[in-house]
Structure 1
Amino acid sequence: MATALAEAAREIVQVGQFLSLRNFVPATSGNFSRRLDARHAAVTRSGVDKGELTEADILALDILAPPPPGSSAETHLHLHLYRDRPHVQAVLHTHSMVSALLSQLRQAERELRLTGYELLKALGDNRTHETTISIPIFPNDQDIPRLAARVSEDLAKRPDTVAYLIAGHGLYTWGRSMAEARRHTVALEHLLTYELETMKVRR
């Protein structure tokens, strides 16, 4: 367990620096996690600038138990993904300007439909731009366990989904490795920007 935690902590610290440089996690926002084994995961401590993470800021947790002291309240959202999707190895939550704005503007639609973009090929096992990918949008809720249950119920009907948005809040995405989760994050941040710019042009 100690070796797995040290390896996961290194990956989380590196991704924190990578995403912070792109301003995807301003101030102390966002949280990241990485599966350790079938029963355990590692998650970032609450209240830390993600560009300044150290390995001491990474906490181990039991995915079947309540989040440990010091972890974000939003850890529940990570735990549901690990419980519901055994293939998920990493979860990244960002608070970029575009994810907050676009999710707020489109929350009445309850989803964001992305069509025709070449960058859709970066998501999951998709291999063509000639498709439409739906990203669900959930209303923000300070009752995180209730929000996590709602997200879990909805995602059960969307087995191929690799991300969702919380309105006015940010993006959650995941992958079968930290590298895939990071790829999904970068691709989706660009795709969200395309959609926001398109809305400006159409106005």
Structure 2
Amino acid sequence: MNDSAQLHQINPNAIALCALGRWIASRHWVPATGGNFSVRNTGHSALITASGKDKGELSPQDLLPVSWQNGQLTCPGIPSAETALHAQLYQLDSRIKAVLHTHSVHATVFSRLINQDSYDFQGYEMQKAISGNSSHATPCPLALFDNTQDIPALAQQVAQRWQQQPLNFALLVRGHGLYVWGNSLEQAKRHLEGWEFLINCELERLKLAR
């Protein structure tokens, strides 16, 4: 048995991440092999979906070990194109255990309607699904970034914004999709479902207000 197979066999998070990936795919949030998911393995490593895999058919063999040290990423095989951003998030907060990236229609459309760097959601009870938010009355901000094919540059932009204020367990890339994270797979799933709901509601509200 090779090292990668052994890692998947003894790491229940690999099985749990694949199951979560299939659930996300069933919601039509990762069409055409889009999106990527990862789960932290150690302080300086994670398992991440390999490039080009159908997220509705994930198995542990579709996850690749990636490590980072001294600004260098190391991974056997071809990991997701956004691996550098996942690694950056793990390095920004040692409590982060999982990162999920989706391409839902409503989040992608919403992202192209918003020009500012951050958008406040307010008045939705679902804001309480996002950790640290305890009331519908308090603004719940979502950070936005311009899309780019230079993922290391995007990761740097995220780090710079984070230094000003840690992001609210999510960020949205214009014309691309949503990233969420959590201190466990379960929390990351809750954040994903909560943010997708909030974005969908706000998009409908903006359409009706026109």
Please tell me the TM-score bracket, short chain as reference: over 0.9
Where do 5+ consecutive residues of structure 2 fail to align? 1-5
1-structure distance, mates of 2:9, 2:156: 28
Question: Which residue number corresponds to residue 32 of structure 2?
Answer: 27
Which of 142, 150, 154 is matched with 2:149 structurally?
Answer: 142
Contact persistence 1:124–1:160 (CA under 8 A): no
Contact persistence 1:99–1:170 (CA under 8 A): yes
Provide the secondary structure at the position in 2 that maps to 1:179: helix
Question: Which residue number corresponds to residue 15 of structure 2?
Answer: 10
2-structure distance, mates of 1:5, 1:102: 40
| CA apart distance, 1:63 | 2.8
Counting matched residue pairs gives 202
Contact persistence 2:8–2:61 (CA under 8 A): no
2-structure distance, mates of 1:125, 1:82: 19
Letter of the 1:42 counterpart: L
Letter of the 1:94 counterpart: T
Change (3 A) 1:5 1:37: farther
Q: Which deviations, in whole Å up to 9, do the C-alpha atoms of 1:85-127 show, x marking residues without a partner?
A: 0010000000000111001111x21222101110000001222
Which of 195, 198, 210 is matched with 1:188 structurally?
Answer: 195
Q: Which deviations, in whole Å up to 9, do the C-alpha atoms of 1:9-51 show, x marking residues without a partner?
A: 1011111111001001111000000011212111000101101
Q: Percent identity?
A: 39
When structure 1 is superposed on structure 2, of 121-130 and 89-98 the one drifting more is 121-130
Question: Which residue number corresponds to residue 117 of structure 1?
Answer: 124
> Which residues in structure 2 correspond to 1:1-203 (within 5 Å)?
2=7, 6-64=11-69, 65-68=72-75, 69-106=77-114, 108-159=115-166, 161-203=168-210
Provide the secondary structure at the position in 1 that maps to 2:187: helix
Contact persistence 1:5–1:60 (CA under 8 A): no
Q: What is the TM-score with the length of structure 2 in the denominator?
A: 0.92
2-structure distance, mates of 1:104, 1:5: 42
Provide the secondary structure at the position in 2 that maps to 1:142: coil
2-structure distance, mates of 1:162, 1:134: 10
Where do 5+ consecutive residues of structure 1 fail to align? none
Q: What is the TM-score with the length of structure 1 in the denominator?
A: 0.95
Letter of the 2:141 counterpart: S
Provide the secondary structure at the position in 2 that maps to 1:156: helix
2-structure distance, mates of 1:109, 1:159: 17
Letter of the 1:39 counterpart: H
Letter of the 1:200 counterpart: K
Letter of the 1:20 counterpart: A
Provide the secondary structure at the position in 2 that maps to 1:43: strand
